[in-house]
Amino acid sequence: MGDKSQQGSGWTFLTNHARVLLAIARDPHIRLREVASICTLTERTVQAIVADLEEAGYLTRTRAEDGRRNRYTVISSSPFRHPAEAGHEIAELLTLLAGPPVQPEATSTTDDKKP
């Protein structure tokens, strides 16, 4: 008999909305193209999900200082939408699965030289 976890209907525990929110929580400066790649979704699908999340009050989008990119802010105090999770905030999910956000200053650039 085969391993059932590798077979079956292909369902997963997290929705695409949760995956997109987690990717944005990990890196608020991420491009939607990158989110699409990470979540194995089309960029158009990710755009629609981000619009859903904005409309529902789970995140906000502002222009980054460079004027070319967006910066996202996740509203972690937002409650889950389903009655089964009533009384819980998405901060709990983010703490569990997202880890600390990426710090732009901590990322290396191609100009960095190793000794």
Could you tell me if residue 45 is inside a domain?
yes
pLDDT at 31 (0 to 100): 94
Could you tell me if residue 115 is inside a domain?
no
Query: Exposure string (b/e) for 5-32, b if CB count within 10 Å is 16 or more?
Result: eeeeeeeeeeebbbbbbbbbbbbbbbeb
Could you tell me if residue 63 is inside a domain?
yes
Query: What does pLDDT average to over the chain?
Result: 84
Could you tell me if residue 110 is inside a domain?
no
Could you tell me if residue 114 is inside a domain?
no
pLDDT at 108 (0 to 100): 41
Could you tell me if residue 3 is inside a domain?
no
Task: Read off the pLDDT of residues 17-44 as tens digits, 9 standing for 90 and up.
Answer: 999 999 999 999 999 999 999 999 999 9
User: Which range of residues forms the domain containing residue 97?
Assistant: 14-102
Answer whether residue 47 shows pLDDT above 90.
Answer: yes
Task: Read off the pLDDT of residues 54-76 as tens digits, 9 standing for 90 and up.
Answer: 999 999 999 878 888 899 999 99
Could you tell me if residue 7 is inside a domain?
no
Could you tell me if residue 47 is inside a domain?
yes
pLDDT at 115 (0 to 100): 43
- Tally of structural domains, the chain: 1
CATH classification of the domain holding 61: 1.10.10.10
pLDDT at 99 (0 to 100): 77
pTM (global) more than 0.85: no
